Structure 1
Amino acid sequence: MSLPNEIEIRVLDARLNDWGLPRYQTALAAGLDLIACLDAPLTLEPQAPAVLIPSGLALHMNAEGLCAMVLPRSGLGHKKGLVLGNGVGLIDADYTAQLYISAWNRNPAGSGSALTVQPGERIAQLVFVPVLRPALRVVEQFSAGSARGAGGFGSTGV
């Protein structure tokens, strides 16, 4: 399986040409910044339902073994409380419609910590990730035991 070195994008909002197309901010950055393509500032109240914010672009990956993930920007999440309403957005290789960013203000209700997202603001990042799709085989018992076994959720201690 060969992964592409190039992904096609469609600019759906012409303002991206002025604000800047998604790009890697440093030479070794893993994610491309996604921009809020809003017509006006959007205020997110603490603990209010998540809001879908258009990115102004669409992708055409069309590659078996590839997906993209929309992730929060670390600084906005840690310093201001702006995170993704769905944790991580998964973009399948055959999805070609506009990308949206599910934005949520995780600050405590009643804290007065409303967040305002500005048009053209970098609010999330897009990371391309290889995907393995193994065949599933139903069995009555696993062919090899594991020292780990059942438990999970803290079963190895704290």
Structure 2
Amino acid sequence: MNSIKVRIAYVRKDKTPKLPQYATPGAAGVDLQASLAQELTIEPGQIAKIPTGLAIELPHAGVGAFVFARSGLASKYGLALANGVGVIDSDYRGEILVAVINQGSEPFVVKDGDRIAQMVFLPVFIGEFYLADQLDETGRGCGGFGSTGVS
């Protein structure tokens, strides 16, 4: 398995949350936990930024950290990421905050130490853009939303 060195720091000296851990040997994402002084209730339709108490330093600009929802929280309670996927750039040094939205019908309570999201490290490519008079043709062409059907 490939690995990278990621420096990590506590954001607050008075609180030292658990370091991120992989739940299983084959897990692609490392669990991020809430670092809260008190429980946080997220009402249906409400957006909240949940602190993790951690900041990271990625090894170089060719790597990004991407924050994804936890499938169990999304499918059981409707707790999803407010921005779809969180992107942590290689030059960001602030606290990792997880922006969530409660899409469920009941209030959702987050407690200190709850696993609230997962973070995956992926390669990043920098686009070098240049203007073209036309683009190469493909079989799909301009077919967009739903153009390939359901089954």
TM over 0.5: yes
Tell me if the contact between 1:57 and 1:99 (Cα under 8 Å) persists in the aligned partners. yes
Letter in 1 for 2:130: R
CA RMSD of aligned residues (A): 1.5
Whole-Å separation in 2 of the counterparts to 1:100 and 1:23: 17
The counterpart of 2:52, out of the listed 51, 55, 80, is: 55
Would you identify which runs of 4 or more consecutive aligned residues in structure 1 move more than 4 Å? none
The alignment of Structure 1 onto Structure 2 pairs a total of residues equal to: 147
1:11 matches 2:4:
no
1:21 matches 2:30:
no
The counterpart of 2:142, out of the listed 118, 126, 150, is: 150
The counterpart of 1:39, out of the listed 11, 30, 37, is: 37
Letter in 1 for 2:148: T
Secondary structure of 2:76's match?
Answer: helix
The counterpart of 1:97, out of the listed 94, 97, 102, is: 94
Whole-Å separation in 1 of the counterparts to 2:127 and 2:99: 30
Counterpart for residue 130 of structure 2: 137
1:117 matches 2:118:
no
- After TM superposition, the score normalised by the length of structure 1 is 0.87
Secondary structure of 1:75's match?
Answer: helix
Residue 102 and residue 39 in structure 1: after superposition, are their counterparts in 2 closer, same or farther (change >3 A)? same
Q: How far apart are residue 4 of structure 1 and its match?
A: 6.8
Counterpart for residue 80 of structure 1: 77
- After TM superposition, the score normalised by the length of structure 2 is 0.91
Secondary structure of 1:98's match?
Answer: coil
